[in-house]
Structures are given as C-alpha cells and as structure tokens.
Amino acid sequence: MAILGIDIGGSGVKGAPVDTVQGELLEERYRIPTPQPSEVSGVVEAVAEVAGRFSGYDRVGITFPGVVVDGVVRTAANVDKSWIDAPAAQLFAERLGRPVAVLNDADAAGVAEVAFGAGRDQAGLIIMLTFGTGIGSALFLDGTLVPNTEMGHLELHGKDAELRASDRVREEDDMSWEKWASRVEEYLRHVEALMSPRLFIIGGGVSKKSDKFFPLIDIRTPMVPAALLNNAGIIGAAVTAAQAGGAAKTAEVSAGHAAD
C-alpha cells in the first residue's frame, strides 16, 4: 500500500509516495518553496499542491518543523507563529480528503533512519540531529521514539544552539567549515554531557558534505552521517502514517469484537 510522505521545512515543502516496507520512494519527489510568510493557509495549500502531483495513495504522513502533540502544533520556531495551537492534522486531512498523521520533522527523519538507515538495529540511546534551517533532534531508546525533544533550542552562550550552529547560520555568515565545525563540536559536547548517547546520527542537507566537517569534530560519541539524506523526513512521515493506520484498524477490529 502506497503512503504519501510530505516534509515541510523552513525553505521547502517536498513529498513523494513511499514503499513503507522497503523504505524507498516510489516516484521522484516533488518540491516547492515554503510560502513566505509561512502562515497556516499558505502552507496547507502548498502541501495540497505537492499532494496533487501524485495519486493512488490511501494515507498521508506530514512532518512539521515544531513540536506536535496529538496532531496539534505547539511551537513554531522556523515558521509563522500563526501555527501555534493550530490543529494541523485536522486541517491537512480536511484539505487532502485522506487520513493524515503529523509529527515533528526531525522525529520523522529519525524514524526513517532507525527503521532503514544509519540507526537500524542499534540498541541503547541514539540521537539524530538534523542541521538545516534550524537544528532538529530525534531521540530513540532501543528503537522507540521519545518525541518532540527539540534539542536545537538548548542554550549556548545565552541563545538557542541553532542560532549558532545550524547550517543556515553557516551559509548566512559565510563561515569556513573549520569555524562552523568548532561550533557544532561545542554543541555536540553539550548534548553528550546531558544525554550520554551511544550514537549521533547527523542529518539534514549538510550531511551530504559530511567529509568536509566530520574530520574536524572531536567528541567521544561515535558519529555517522544519515543514510537517507533529504528523503528521511518523507520516508519517516509515511512510516508513521502507516503505523497510525494499523493502530486505527486494530482499534476498529477490537471495537467490532466488543460489539459481538
């Protein structure tokens, strides 16, 4: 069964149908710029435009760059503040006419990496960090997601860590790889001190250039680049939607037995 995965980022909205058993895109992904300003109605229409490029899917998984609890957005650091307390899952489902699951974007990327990529078959505490418009985080204990950790907002030098060490900051300030890597190392050491993970998985678009900055970072925790690169969010969103569909079917079956 094909599930559509859509990844909402600070700069782009992209999606594709996903084989959630193999963890692969079934078609070439389609991407459009995130509307500016990124207020609710504009982003909902952008998601609808991406979804409209595809057919034959039954459910939709959507990532969002903020905390999402029970389908409701609670924070919006890198998109318009009109999203705070917006019932995202309901809004997308009504617009798309399909069941929708919504989760944090870094959590979705982590779900994909743990299921199919660099975190597969890894026990213990694993942390995925995505360096892009901000810094996203996904924390897993023995393969189980602990959602909405938002470690990009840990404080360093009196400000959010992502305001010092995101890939956007590197690009906007035209930093050398050496200077940026020193900031990333400082941030990773801070996370190490708090969480003592067994593995860091580094994702986001900059993970494609891991050879430029990994050798410049000296930390105790093993560190690997994400295997699924920019497709991780799409795949993880679809996997989450598939799991939600399975849970719904189980609930329906249980209710039917109860009625019997």
pLDDT range class, residue 246, cuts 50, 70, 90: low
Share of residues in the chain with pLDDT > 90 (%)? 88
* Residue 17 DSSP class: E
The four Cα atoms 106, 175, 188, 80 give a dihedral, to 10 degrees, of -30
**3-state DSSP call for residue 44?**
helix
Provide the whole-model pTM.
Answer: 0.90
Question: Is residue 252 scored above 70 in pLDDT?
Answer: no
Domain with CATH 3.30.420.40 in the chain: 2-107+234-259, 120-227
CATH of 2-107+234-259, one of 3.30.70.3340, 1.10.230.10, 3.30.420.40, 1.20.1050.90: 3.30.420.40
Distance, CA of 64 to CA of 87 (rounded, Å): 12
Q: In this structure, are residues 184 and 131 in contact, taking their beta carbons and an 8 Å threshold?
A: yes
Distance, CA of 100 to CA of 91 (rounded, Å): 9
Locate 123 and state its tokens. Answer: 């026990």
Q: What is the pLDDT, as a whole number, of residue 84? A: 97
Count of Cβ atoms closer than 10 Å to residue 198 Cβ: 13
| Superfamily of 120-227 according to CATH | ATPase, nucleotide binding domain (3.30.420.40)
Distance, CA of 117 to CA of 149 (rounded, Å): 20
Question: Is residue 256 scored above 90 in pLDDT?
Answer: no
pLDDT range class, residue 258, cuts 50, 70, 90: very low
Alpha helices in 87-231 (DSSP H): 88-96, 105-116, 162-165, 167-172, 177-195, 210-213
Question: Is residue 150 scored above 80 in pLDDT?
Answer: yes
- Which tens digits make up the pLDDT trace of 151-208? 999 999 999 999 999 999 999 999 999 999 999 999 999 999 999 999 999 998 899 9
Distance, CA of 22 to CA of 20 (rounded, Å): 6
Q: What is the pLDDT, as a whole number, of residue 133? A: 85
Distance, CA of 6 to CA of 9 (rounded, Å): 10
Distance, CA of 164 to CA of 36 (rounded, Å): 23
